[in-house]
Structures are given as structure tokens and as C-alpha cells.
Amino acid sequence: MGEFDLIKRYFSRPARRAVLSVGDDCALLAPSPGQHLAFSTDSLVEGRHFLPTVNPALLGHKALAVNLSDLAACGATPRAFLLSLTLPRVDEAWLSGFAQGLWALADQSDCELIGGDTTQGPLHINITVIGEVPRGLALLRSGAQVGDDVYVSGTLGDARVALEVFRGHLSVPENVFSQARSRMEQPTPRLALGVALRGLASSAVDISDGLVGDLGHILKASQVGADIEIVRAMPLLACAPDLDLPPAQQLEFVLAGGDDYELVFTAPPHQRDAVVAAGIDSDTRVTRIGTLRAGQGIQLIDEQGHALAHQFKSFDHFA
């Protein structure tokens, strides 16, 4: 099968909302009135972001999910995406699995594939997503204020539990592993929550490299510090009750686990009821874990209200 047959077979569908889709030199989109276009791109590299043995349908899902997570963090609605694939060979079983996982999430999130590129080489997947957000309503990293509450969506650290099991550093019961593994392999982009937080959250970012690191981006951009209450953060590790993990390790997974694809966001205290309502409306668990203060960096606060020394760091490809 040649390059063009491959594209036609697995990655072409008639245009839906796009003016022009796969098959020409460019795709064409008409922006909706009153909206800004939002762009983001993310790559997945074999051996770095996924294991060679991963189920291709799950990889198709994850490649798009991590990109949609960036749109969610901006409060944007998905419109379209571009797919650049570098493949070692044409493996039809792999391609049909990958395409199935990709299309399922694309349909579910109403995001259409409008173009891309296909070349030969070591397996590498790059997706660029395009979304829309009403002018002036994008959620940024820079809007947080001293006194705001800090919240996170969903659960944190479970993907890291799965990674540690794969690495042979941790052994957990089979049912716990399968749940943790699905958190690692099938993240849920928090798109509905992102939309519900428009005009409500003062800042937001998605958590891909760990809570401490990604919240750190908000703190830097907004020039504030944060107090995070350990008693509120610890229960975010969903599989903790089924495991015999020392508290320090639980805390590390929650604060610096990585691969969570949840949102961390801030909102003024008078918006607490509205934030709860946004969580309910979007069917997403939302937990308040701390507050912003003057200064910089993250301070962990224990049950007695004392500051706790910590050295949690986020994942950095070049550190």
C-alpha cells in the first residue's frame, strides 16, 4: 500500500464543518463569528511517551487526547486537527487499530481531521489541534490573584502508579493495575469543564508533567505563590485505598506523577458555588486543594497548618 492509498483508506473522511478537508495542499476552515482560534501541538515518540507494545487503538486515543487537553485548559472547544505520522512500515493491523482509537475520540469531541503528513521513519506521532473560544474568554496562566482558591479536576497520580508497575518498581493487585493503566493509556481531556470555567476561573493549565510543575507555570505567569493542603491533595490518588504505599510516595505520585491530563485552575473565593456547579454541569470531579498567596513557589501545608519542606519536581525532557 502506497502513501496516498494509506491516507485515503485510514485518514480521509468527507469534510463536515471544514470548508476543505484532506486531499488538497491546504485545508480550509471558516472561523465562527466572535471567536478566537486556539492552536496547540504535541508529539508522542516511541520509547519516550509510550511503550512499543502499547495497543494501537489506545495510542490513537492518547495522541489526540493530550492535544485536546491543551484546548480544555484554555476553555476552547475543539474544531479540527492535523495528523503527522512517521511510520517505520505500513502495518495494516496497527493502522486500523490506531485509526479506530483516533476516530472514536475525534467523533466524541466533535473534532475533525482536516489534513496532515505521512512519512517513513521511527514511529512518531504529531497532532496539531485547532479550537475556538469566544473573544476575551480564553483561560490563561497569567490571570491568577492572591487570595484565589486552587482546584484540580479528576484524580492525580494513578497514571504514575501504572508506569511504576511497568518499570518493575511497584507491584499492585490486578484490578488496581487495570484501573491505573487505563488512566495512563486513556486520559480524558476535560473539555466540558474547561468550557464551564470560562469567565469563572482566573487561570488554568493542564497537568501533563505533574501538579507541582504545571501549577508552577501559573504561579510564575501570575507572580503569586500557593499553599497546598496535603490533607486535601492526598485523596486524589484514586487507587491509594487499595495499595499499601507509604504516605510520602502517595504524595509524590499526586504532586509529581505526570501523565494525568487533568486541569489545575484558580478562582476567587466568591465563586466557590459557581465552581461546584461547573463541576456538576460538566460531570467532572473538582477538588479545592489550596489558596494563592503573595510570594512565589508552592508551600505544602500539613494537617496542623505547618509548612512542610519538599523537593518535588516535575518531569522535564532535558533536565
Interface with ligand ADP by CB under 6 A: which residues?
Answer: 7, 11, 22-25, 83, 85, 113, 115-118
Given the complex with ligand ADP, which of 98 and 253 has the nearer CB atom? 98
Least separation in angstroms between CB 67 and Mg ion: 20
Q: Which among ligand ADP, Mg ion, none contacts residue 292 (Cβ within 5 to 8 A by kind)?
A: none
Which residue in the shown chain puts its C-beta closest to Mg ion?
Answer: 117
Evaluate the CA torsion angle 77, 145, 223, 232 in order and state its sign.
negative
Give the one entry of Mg ion, ligand ADP, none that residue 116 binds, where binding means its C-beta sits below a cut-off of 5 to 8 angstroms depending on kind.
ligand ADP
Q: Which does 118 bind (CB under 5 to 8 A by kind): ligand ADP, Mg ion, none?
A: ligand ADP
Measure the CA–CA gap between 61 and 227, rounded to whole angstroms.
Answer: 35
Q: Which residue, 23 or 295, is less far from ligand ADP as judged by CB?
A: 23
Of 129 and 201, nearer to ligand ADP (C-beta) is: 129
d(CA 52, CA 107): 26
Q: Which is nearer to Mg ion, 110 or 117 (CB)?
A: 117
To ligand ADP, the closest distance from the beta carbon of 25 in angstroms equals: 5
Least separation in angstroms between CB 82 and ligand ADP: 7
Sheet of strand 203-207: strand arrangement: 203-207, 262-267, 149-153, 286-293, 225-229, 297-301, 307-308
Instruction: State the Cα–Cα distance between residues 9 and 102, nearest whole angstrom.
Output: 14
CA atoms of 48 and 151, how far apart (whole Å): 29
Cβ-proximal residues to 107 (8 Å cutoff; 6+ apart), any chain = none
Q: Which is nearer to ligand ADP, 61 or 181 (CB)?
A: 61
Residue 83 interacts, among ligand ADP, Mg ion, none and using kind-specific CB cut-offs from 5 to 8 Å, with: ligand ADP
* Residue ranges with strand state E in 88-165: 112-120, 124-134, 149-153
Q: What is the dihedral of CA 225, 230, 232, 238, to 10 degrees?
A: 120
Count the site residues for Mg ion by CB under 5 A. 1
* Shortest distance in whole angstroms from residue 119 CB to Mg ion: 8
Other Cβ atoms less than 10 A from the Cβ of 140: the count is: 17
Choice between 90 and 137, CB closer to Mg ion: 90
| C-alpha cell at position 99 | 485509526
State the binding partner of 22 from ligand ADP, Mg ion, none, CB within 5 to 8 A by kind.
Answer: ligand ADP
Q: Which is nearer to Mg ion, 116 or 225 (CB)?
A: 116
**Residue 275 CB coordination number (10 Å):** 23
How many residues are present in the chain? 319
Shortest Cβ 15–ligand ADP spacing (Å): 11
23 vs 297 by CB, closer to ligand ADP: 23
Give the one entry of ligand ADP, Mg ion, none that residue 174 binds, where binding means its C-beta sits below a cut-off of 5 to 8 angstroms depending on kind.
none
> CA-to-CA distance for 287 and 272, rounded, in angstroms?
11
Q: Which positions from 81 through 140 interact with Mg ion, judged by CB under 5 A?
A: 117
* Alpha carbon distance 138, 65 (integer Å): 19
| Among ligand ADP, Mg ion, none, partner that 275 touches (CB below 5 to 8 angstroms by kind) | none
Indicate the pairing of strand 297-301 with strand 307-308: antiparallel
Which option in Mg ion, ligand ADP, none does residue 25 bind, with CB closer than 5 to 8 A by kind?
ligand ADP
Residues that bind Mg ion (CB under 5 A): 117
